[in-house]
Protein backbone atom coordinates (compact mmCIF):
# COMPACT_ATOMS: atom_id res chain seq x y z
CA UNK A 1 0.00 0.00 0.00
CA UNK A 2 2.70 2.39 0.80
CA UNK A 3 5.14 1.25 -1.85
CA UNK A 4 6.38 3.44 -4.71
CA UNK A 5 4.69 1.46 -7.46
CA UNK A 6 1.27 1.96 -5.90
CA UNK A 7 1.69 5.68 -5.69
CA UNK A 8 2.87 5.86 -9.33
CA UNK A 9 -0.09 3.87 -10.53
CA UNK A 10 -2.53 6.11 -8.65
CA UNK A 11 -0.92 9.19 -10.21
CA UNK A 12 -1.18 7.76 -13.74
CA UNK A 13 -4.85 6.92 -13.32
CA UNK A 14 -5.60 10.47 -12.18
CA UNK A 15 -4.16 12.03 -15.38
CA UNK A 16 -5.42 9.57 -17.92
CA UNK A 17 -8.99 10.03 -19.28
CA UNK A 18 -11.52 7.75 -17.75
CA UNK A 19 -13.38 5.61 -20.22
CA UNK A 20 -16.63 6.15 -18.28
CA UNK A 21 -16.32 9.93 -17.93
CA UNK A 22 -18.93 11.97 -19.75
CA UNK A 23 -17.71 14.36 -22.44
CA UNK A 24 -17.65 17.98 -21.27
CA UNK A 25 -19.44 20.66 -23.23
CA UNK A 26 -17.00 23.13 -24.77
CA UNK A 27 -19.64 25.46 -26.22
CA UNK A 28 -19.87 29.09 -25.11
CA UNK A 29 -22.90 31.40 -25.16
CA UNK A 30 -23.23 33.65 -28.15
CA UNK A 31 -21.61 36.98 -27.77
CA UNK A 32 -23.90 39.92 -28.23
CA UNK A 33 -22.95 43.28 -29.61
CA UNK A 34 -23.58 45.08 -26.33
CA UNK A 35 -21.56 42.67 -24.26
CA UNK A 36 -18.25 44.34 -24.69
CA UNK A 37 -17.05 43.81 -21.18
CA UNK A 38 -18.13 40.21 -20.79
CA UNK A 39 -15.36 37.98 -19.57
CA UNK A 40 -15.84 34.25 -19.74
CA UNK A 41 -13.91 31.97 -17.48
CA UNK A 42 -13.75 28.25 -18.03
CA UNK A 43 -14.17 26.29 -14.90
CA UNK A 44 -12.40 23.01 -14.56
CA UNK A 45 -12.29 20.53 -11.77
CA UNK A 46 -9.11 22.04 -10.46
CA UNK A 47 -10.56 25.56 -10.61
CA UNK A 48 -13.72 24.60 -8.71
CA UNK A 49 -11.67 23.37 -5.82
CA UNK A 50 -9.72 26.60 -5.58
CA UNK A 51 -12.73 28.97 -5.68
CA UNK A 52 -13.81 30.60 -2.46
CA UNK A 53 -17.39 31.65 -1.81
CA UNK A 54 -17.81 35.30 -0.89
CA UNK A 55 -19.27 35.24 2.56
CA UNK A 56 -19.69 39.00 2.87
CA UNK A 57 -23.01 39.25 0.97
CA UNK A 58 -25.03 36.93 3.24
CA UNK A 59 -23.62 38.66 6.25
CA UNK A 60 -24.72 41.98 4.90
CA UNK A 61 -28.22 40.62 4.29
CA UNK A 62 -28.41 39.06 7.72
CA UNK A 63 -27.21 42.20 9.53
CA UNK A 64 -29.91 43.51 11.90
CA UNK A 65 -31.50 46.84 11.04
CA UNK A 66 -30.04 49.84 12.79
CA UNK A 67 -32.15 51.32 15.56
CA UNK A 68 -33.42 54.80 15.21
CA UNK A 69 -31.59 56.95 17.68
CA UNK A 70 -33.96 59.39 19.40
CA UNK A 71 -32.26 62.22 21.19
CA UNK A 72 -33.08 62.15 24.90
CA UNK A 73 -33.03 64.85 27.51
CA UNK A 74 -30.04 64.52 29.77
CA UNK A 75 -30.98 63.26 33.21
CA UNK A 76 -28.70 65.62 35.00
CA UNK A 77 -29.00 69.37 34.72
CA UNK A 78 -25.77 70.95 33.66
CA UNK A 79 -24.15 72.71 36.56
CA UNK A 80 -24.93 76.40 36.55
CA UNK A 81 -24.51 79.11 39.08
CA UNK A 82 -27.56 79.49 41.45
CA UNK A 83 -29.83 82.30 40.38
CA UNK A 84 -31.00 84.72 43.06
CA UNK A 85 -34.72 85.52 42.75
CA UNK A 86 -36.02 88.72 44.30
CA UNK A 87 -39.48 87.94 45.71
CA UNK A 88 -40.26 91.60 46.37
CA UNK A 89 -39.61 92.42 42.74
CA UNK A 90 -42.00 89.70 41.61
CA UNK A 91 -44.73 90.84 44.01
CA UNK A 92 -44.30 94.54 43.35
CA UNK A 93 -47.33 94.78 41.06
CA UNK A 94 -49.64 92.65 43.21
CA UNK A 95 -52.15 94.16 45.60
CA UNK A 96 -52.18 93.28 49.26
CA UNK A 97 -55.58 91.63 49.00
CA UNK A 98 -55.82 90.34 45.46
CA UNK A 99 -58.93 88.34 44.53
CA UNK A 100 -58.56 84.66 44.06
CA UNK A 101 -58.62 83.75 40.39
CA UNK A 102 -60.87 80.81 39.71
CA UNK A 103 -59.93 78.78 36.65
CA UNK A 104 -62.58 78.65 33.90
CA UNK A 105 -63.07 74.90 34.19
CA UNK A 106 -63.87 75.22 37.89
CA UNK A 107 -66.68 77.67 37.18
CA UNK A 108 -68.53 75.16 35.05
CA UNK A 109 -67.82 71.96 36.91
CA UNK A 110 -71.46 70.97 36.55
CA UNK A 111 -73.25 70.00 33.38
CA UNK A 112 -75.01 73.39 33.37
CA UNK A 113 -73.63 76.87 34.02
CA UNK A 114 -74.13 78.24 37.52
CA UNK A 115 -75.72 81.65 37.73
CA UNK A 116 -74.70 84.20 40.31
CA UNK A 117 -76.76 84.39 43.51
CA UNK A 118 -78.63 87.67 43.98
CA UNK A 119 -77.26 89.78 46.84
CA UNK A 120 -80.63 89.75 48.64
CA UNK A 121 -80.64 85.98 48.83
CA UNK A 122 -76.98 85.89 49.81
CA UNK A 123 -77.61 88.36 52.66
CA UNK A 124 -80.62 86.39 53.83
CA UNK A 125 -78.66 83.14 53.83
CA UNK A 126 -75.95 84.68 56.00
CA UNK A 127 -78.42 85.47 58.76
CA UNK A 128 -78.21 82.99 61.58
CA UNK A 129 -81.55 81.35 62.17
CA UNK A 130 -81.90 80.53 65.86
CA UNK A 131 -82.79 76.95 66.52
CA UNK A 132 -86.02 76.38 68.39
CA UNK A 133 -85.41 75.81 72.04
CA UNK A 134 -86.29 72.31 73.01
CA UNK A 135 -88.02 72.31 76.31
CA UNK A 136 -86.43 69.86 78.62
CA UNK A 137 -88.96 67.53 80.02
CA UNK A 138 -88.82 67.49 83.73
CA UNK A 139 -88.13 64.07 84.99
CA UNK A 140 -91.16 62.89 86.82
CA UNK A 141 -90.31 62.04 90.40
CA UNK A 142 -90.27 58.42 91.28
CA UNK A 143 -93.61 57.42 92.65
CA UNK A 144 -93.18 57.00 96.37
CA UNK A 145 -95.37 54.32 97.89
CA UNK A 146 -98.02 55.55 100.24
CA UNK A 147 -97.60 54.96 103.93
CA UNK A 148 -100.27 53.60 106.27
CA UNK A 149 -99.94 54.47 109.97
CA UNK A 150 -102.12 52.93 112.70
CA UNK A 151 -102.22 54.47 116.17
CA UNK A 152 -103.37 51.98 118.79
CA UNK A 153 -102.78 50.96 122.38
CA UNK A 154 -101.64 47.68 123.87
CA UNK A 155 -102.98 48.41 127.37
CA UNK A 156 -105.93 46.34 128.53
CA UNK A 157 -107.26 48.87 131.01
CA UNK A 158 -110.23 49.68 128.76
CA UNK A 159 -111.53 46.45 127.32
CA UNK A 160 -113.56 47.93 124.44
CA UNK A 161 -110.61 50.04 123.23
CA UNK A 162 -108.26 47.09 123.44
CA UNK A 163 -110.66 44.88 121.45
CA UNK A 164 -111.11 47.56 118.78
CA UNK A 165 -107.33 47.87 118.41
CA UNK A 166 -106.96 44.10 117.99
CA UNK A 167 -109.78 44.07 115.40
CA UNK A 168 -108.20 46.89 113.37
CA UNK A 169 -104.80 45.14 113.34
CA UNK A 170 -106.42 41.89 112.21
CA UNK A 171 -108.33 43.58 109.35
CA UNK A 172 -105.27 45.40 108.01
CA UNK A 173 -103.15 42.25 108.24
CA UNK A 174 -105.32 40.57 105.61
CA UNK A 175 -104.60 43.15 102.87
CA UNK A 176 -100.87 42.46 102.63
CA UNK A 177 -99.78 46.07 103.08
CA UNK A 178 -97.09 47.29 105.41
CA UNK A 179 -98.64 49.21 108.31
CA UNK A 180 -96.56 51.30 110.69
CA UNK A 181 -98.13 50.41 114.04
CA UNK A 182 -97.48 53.05 116.68
CA UNK A 183 -98.40 52.18 120.25
CA UNK A 184 -99.26 55.37 122.11
CA UNK A 185 -99.04 53.61 125.47
CA UNK A 186 -95.38 52.65 124.90
CA UNK A 187 -94.09 55.98 123.56
CA UNK A 188 -95.27 59.43 124.54
CA UNK A 189 -94.11 60.92 121.24
CA UNK A 190 -96.69 58.87 119.33
CA UNK A 191 -99.43 60.20 121.57
CA UNK A 192 -98.36 63.77 120.87
CA UNK A 193 -98.40 63.03 117.12
CA UNK A 194 -101.97 61.76 117.36
CA UNK A 195 -103.04 64.87 119.23
CA UNK A 196 -101.61 67.04 116.49
CA UNK A 197 -103.26 65.05 113.70
CA UNK A 198 -106.69 65.14 115.39
CA UNK A 199 -106.36 68.83 116.20
CA UNK A 200 -107.27 68.36 119.84
CA UNK A 201 -105.86 69.96 122.92
CA UNK A 202 -103.98 67.92 125.41
CA UNK A 203 -106.83 67.71 127.95
CA UNK A 204 -109.60 67.12 125.40
CA UNK A 205 -107.52 64.49 123.60
CA UNK A 206 -106.88 62.58 126.80
CA UNK A 207 -110.56 62.64 127.70
CA UNK A 208 -111.56 61.48 124.22
CA UNK A 209 -108.96 58.72 124.10
CA UNK A 210 -109.59 57.20 127.49
CA UNK A 211 -113.26 57.95 128.27
CA UNK A 212 -115.45 54.91 127.40
CA UNK A 213 -118.60 57.01 126.93
CA UNK A 214 -117.01 59.31 124.38
CA UNK A 215 -116.25 58.37 120.80
CA UNK A 216 -112.92 56.51 121.01
CA UNK A 217 -109.99 57.97 119.04
CA UNK A 218 -108.13 54.67 119.17
CA UNK A 219 -107.45 52.93 116.92
CA UNK A 220 -106.98 55.56 114.17
CA UNK A 221 -105.72 54.77 110.65
CA UNK A 222 -103.97 57.41 108.54
CA UNK A 223 -102.86 56.99 104.91
CA UNK A 224 -100.35 59.66 103.88
CA UNK A 225 -101.57 61.91 106.71
CA UNK A 226 -105.24 61.54 105.79
CA UNK A 227 -107.57 60.05 108.37
CA UNK A 228 -109.35 56.92 107.16
CA UNK A 229 -111.29 56.19 110.34
CA UNK A 230 -111.46 54.32 113.62
CA UNK A 231 -112.37 50.67 114.23
CA UNK A 232 -116.04 51.06 113.26
CA UNK A 233 -115.15 52.85 110.02
CA UNK A 234 -112.53 50.25 109.13
CA UNK A 235 -115.03 47.46 109.76
CA UNK A 236 -117.63 49.14 107.53
CA UNK A 237 -115.15 49.75 104.68
CA UNK A 238 -113.88 46.20 104.94
CA UNK A 239 -117.38 44.70 104.73
CA UNK A 240 -118.30 46.98 101.79
CA UNK A 241 -115.09 46.15 99.90
CA UNK A 242 -113.94 49.78 99.83
CA UNK A 243 -110.96 49.44 102.12
CA UNK A 244 -108.76 47.99 99.34
CA UNK A 245 -109.25 51.15 97.28
CA UNK A 246 -108.29 53.32 100.25
CA UNK A 247 -105.10 51.28 100.74
CA UNK A 248 -104.16 51.27 97.04
CA UNK A 249 -100.57 52.37 96.46
CA UNK A 250 -99.35 51.53 99.92
CA UNK A 251 -96.10 49.66 100.39
CA UNK A 252 -96.51 45.91 100.29
CA UNK A 253 -95.51 43.88 103.30
CA UNK A 254 -92.57 41.49 103.23
CA UNK A 255 -93.44 37.85 102.44
CA UNK A 256 -92.78 36.65 105.99
CA UNK A 257 -93.92 39.80 107.78
CA UNK A 258 -97.65 39.10 107.71
CA UNK A 259 -97.30 35.34 108.18
CA UNK A 260 -96.00 35.38 111.77
CA UNK A 261 -94.81 37.53 114.62
CA UNK A 262 -91.51 39.40 114.49
CA UNK A 263 -88.68 37.31 115.92
CA UNK A 264 -87.00 40.34 117.49
CA UNK A 265 -89.92 41.98 119.31
CA UNK A 266 -92.82 39.48 119.05
CA UNK A 267 -95.03 42.18 117.48
CA UNK A 268 -94.55 44.52 120.43
CA UNK A 269 -92.70 46.95 118.05
CA UNK A 270 -90.24 47.89 120.79
CA UNK A 271 -87.08 46.32 122.18
CA UNK A 272 -84.91 47.06 125.22
CA UNK A 273 -82.35 49.84 124.79
CA UNK A 274 -78.86 48.48 124.27
CA UNK A 275 -77.07 51.60 125.57
CA UNK A 276 -78.60 51.77 129.04
CA UNK A 277 -80.26 48.31 129.28
CA UNK A 278 -83.62 49.96 130.06
CA UNK A 279 -82.41 52.10 132.98
CA UNK A 280 -82.60 55.36 130.98
CA UNK A 281 -79.21 56.48 132.39
CA UNK A 282 -75.56 55.98 131.52
CA UNK A 283 -72.34 56.72 133.40
CA UNK A 284 -70.04 59.37 131.93
CA UNK A 285 -66.40 60.11 132.94
CA UNK A 286 -65.04 63.59 133.64
CA UNK A 287 -63.42 63.88 130.22
CA UNK A 288 -66.64 62.96 128.42
CA UNK A 289 -68.85 65.40 130.32
CA UNK A 290 -70.75 66.83 127.36
CA UNK A 291 -74.23 65.68 128.31
CA UNK A 292 -76.84 68.41 128.56
CA UNK A 293 -79.18 66.36 130.79
CA UNK A 294 -77.30 65.54 134.00
CA UNK A 295 -79.21 63.53 136.56
CA UNK A 296 -77.40 64.80 139.66
CA UNK A 297 -77.64 68.48 138.75
CA UNK A 298 -73.88 69.08 139.15
CA UNK A 299 -70.88 69.11 136.90
CA UNK A 300 -68.18 66.49 136.51
CA UNK A 301 -68.57 62.81 135.77
CA UNK A 302 -71.50 60.69 136.81
CA UNK A 303 -74.76 59.31 135.52
CA UNK A 304 -76.47 61.02 132.65
CA UNK A 305 -79.78 60.63 130.87
CA UNK A 306 -79.64 58.10 128.01
CA UNK A 307 -80.31 59.78 124.71
CA UNK A 308 -81.03 56.60 122.76
CA UNK A 309 -84.26 55.39 124.39
CA UNK A 310 -87.61 56.92 125.39
CA UNK A 311 -89.08 57.45 128.81
CA UNK A 312 -89.63 53.72 129.25
CA UNK A 313 -86.06 52.65 128.36
CA UNK A 314 -87.07 51.06 125.04
CA UNK A 315 -86.42 51.79 121.33
CA UNK A 316 -88.24 50.95 118.10
CA UNK A 317 -87.66 47.45 116.78
CA UNK A 318 -84.90 47.61 114.14
CA UNK A 319 -86.32 44.56 112.33
CA UNK A 320 -89.99 45.29 111.73
CA UNK A 321 -90.11 49.07 112.27
CA UNK A 322 -87.08 50.20 110.25
Q: Are 183 and 306 in contact (CB under 8 A)?
A: no
Higher pLDDT, 219 or 217: 219
Q: What is the DSSP string of 18-52?
A: PTTPPPPP---PPPPTT-TT-------HHHHHH--
Predicted confidence band at 215 (pLDDT cuts at 50, 70, 90)? Answer: very low
Q: Which helix (H) or strand (E) holds 209?
A: helix 202-210
**Distance (Å, rounded) from C-alpha 210 to C-alpha 204?**
10
pLDDT averaged over the chain? 72
Predicted confidence band at 40 (pLDDT cuts at 50, 70, 90)? Answer: low
Q: Which residues contact 149 (CB under 8 A, 6 or more apart)?
A: 179, 180, 182, 221, 222, 223
Residue 190: which of 10, 67, 321 has the closest Cα?
321
Torsion of CA 314, 315, 321, 322, to 10 degrees: -160
Q: Are 302 and 294 in contact (CB under 8 A)?
A: yes
Q: Which residues contact 173 (CB under 8 A, 6 or more apart)?
A: 179, 258
**Distance (Å, rounded) from C-alpha 232 to C-alpha 236?**
6
What is the model's pLDDT at position 83? Answer: 72
Average pLDDT value for residue range 217-235: 91
Q: Are 273 and 314 in contact (CB under 8 A)?
A: yes
**Distance (Å, rounded) from C-alpha 191 to C-alpha 189?**
5
Residue 253: which of 125, 148, 96 has the closest Cα?
148
Stated pTM of the model? 0.50
For 212, which DSSP code?
Answer: S
Domains in the chain with CATH codes: 148-260 (3.40.30.10), 261-322 (no CATH)
Read off the pLDDT of residues 236-263 as tens digits, 9 standing for 90 and up: 999 999 999 999 988 888 776 655 678 8
Predicted confidence band at 288 (pLDDT cuts at 50, 70, 90)? Answer: low
What is the model's pLDDT at position 312? Answer: 92
Read off the pLDDT of residues 42-66 as tens digits, 9 standing for 90 and up: 655 555 555 555 555 555 555 566 6
Predicted confidence band at 213 (pLDDT cuts at 50, 70, 90)? Answer: very low
Q: Are 195 and 204 in contact (CB under 8 A)?
A: no
- Express as a percent the part of the chain with pLDDT over 70: 49
What is the model's pLDDT at position 153? Answer: 93
Read off the pLDDT of residues 88-97 as tens digits, 9 standing for 90 and up: 777 776 666 5
205 pLDDT more than 60:
no
291 pLDDT more than 60:
no
166 pLDDT more than 90:
yes
- The top-scoring range by mean pLDDT among 29-38, 51-60, 274-283 is 274-283
Amino acid sequence: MGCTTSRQARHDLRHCPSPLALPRCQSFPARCAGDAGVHVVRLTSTTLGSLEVDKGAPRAAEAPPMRRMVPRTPTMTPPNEPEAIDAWALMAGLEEHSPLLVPPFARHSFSFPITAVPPELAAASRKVTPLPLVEKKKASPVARPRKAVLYFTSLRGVRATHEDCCLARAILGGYGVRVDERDVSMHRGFRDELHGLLGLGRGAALAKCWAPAAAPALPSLFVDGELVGNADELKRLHEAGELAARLAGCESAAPGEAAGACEACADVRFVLCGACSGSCKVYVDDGDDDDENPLDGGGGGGFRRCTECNENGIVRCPVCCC
